[in-house]
Amino acid sequence: MLDARNLSVRYGKHLALNDVSIKVGHGECVVILGANGAGKSTLLRGLTSMVPIASEGDVLFLDRHIGGIAPQKVVEIGIAHVPEGRGVFTEMTVDENLRLGANPRRAREGAEGRRKEVLALFPRLAERQRQRVGTMSGGEQQMVAVARALMSKPDLLLLDEPSLGLAPIVVGELFQALKRVRDSGMSMLVVEQNVRASLSIASRGYLLEAGRIVGEGAANTLMDDPGVRKAFLGH
Ligand code: ATP
């Protein structure tokens, strides 16, 4: 589904992403594990053209070269990006946020049916459709962000640190919901610092350190990887 090769991103003199190659298969949930500043957000921004990638890089999505595509076209080709900090409309209700999510051309047909499917994945939102998003908890707002992204009818969902700033119990609830999204067949690329939560839903992962991929493997082997344990689990 996604085959990104040799991606490098510079911010001025700083090389934030250094020759990174990753793949996501159809229906696969892949996690990029990295500490603060490792380049996780930069990788997602590079994939969606929010920052320019160096010329040797190439991004294939559904067998089409999309490197350098206009950022506003990304959603129309089937990639939904939930940025760090969620980007939900806090003055609007859950329902209004979801309806806005169906605004891209590809998503207009069948939007009502999709809204029902999405609400079935997030029962907590189904109960609160008329609630203003700004009055909801951080975990619920993150659910709104993911649900709104799903309304755009994506083939691939990119999630930037969904657990950020959430209490452990809320992280558990959110990842239960993300598991349901995965089980619906959605292809997902998740960048995270929360190793346990993200590996609990991923089948495969990559380890990103100072802009470089320094490890990769099946989710169950990564959990026991000495580098991962040392960097993230404190032993
Ligand atoms: P975090 O979890 O802290 O967001 P991250 O892994 O997502 O970390 P990035 O945000 O991708 O990391 O940042 C990677 C590096 O690039 C960091 O050193 C950061 O300071 C730098 N960086 C990020 N955005 C910019 C920018 N717009 N201009 C200059 N440097 C930047």
Residues 103 and 148 in one domain: yes
- For the entire predicted model, the pTM comes to 0.94
Instruction: Kindly state if the Cβ of 36 falls inside 6 Å of ligand 1.
Output: yes
Q: Please give the number of the atom of ligand 1 that sits closest to the Cα of 161.
A: 2
- Check whether residue 198 and residue 177 sit in a common domain: yes
Residues 162 and 108 in one domain: no
Tell me, yes or no, whether 138 and 127 share the same domain.
Answer: yes
139 and 165 within one domain: no
Give the end of a domain, one of 123, 154, 185. 154
- Is the pLDDT at 225 greater than 80? The verdict is yes
The residue among 152, 177, 184 whose CA lies nearest residue 163 is 177
Cα distance between residue 219 and residue 93, in whole Å: 36
pLDDT for res 235: 54
Q: Would the pLDDT of 228 be above 90? A: no
Q: What does the pLDDT look like over 147-201, one tens digit per residue?
A: 999 999 999 999 999 999 898 999 999 999 999 999 999 999 999 999 999 999 9
Give yes or no: residues 93 and 161 share one domain: no
pLDDT at 230 over 90: no
Q: Closest ligand 1 atom, CA of 39?
A: 11
- Ligand 1, atom 31: nearest CA belongs to which residue? 11
Q: Is residue 145 part of a domain?
A: yes
* 36 in any annotated domain: yes
Distance (Å, rounded) from C-alpha 124 to C-alpha 129?
A: 9
Per the prediction, the chain carries an average pLDDT of: 94
Within a domain: residue 83?
Answer: no
- Choose the residue to mutate in 42, 47, 81, 163 for probing ligand 1, maximizing ligand atoms within 8 Å of C-beta: 42
User: How far is the C-alpha of 189 from the C-alpha of 32, rounded, in Å?
Assistant: 8
What the block records as the tokens of 219 is 């989710």
Residue pLDDT, tens place only, 112-135: 999 999 999 999 999 999 999 999
Residues 160, 136, single domain; the answer is no
Tally of structural domains, the chain: 2
Q: Are residues 139 and 167 in the same domain?
A: no
Across the range 220-226, mean pLDDT stands at 88
Domain that holds residue 129: 88-154
Mean pLDDT of the 26-51 span: 95
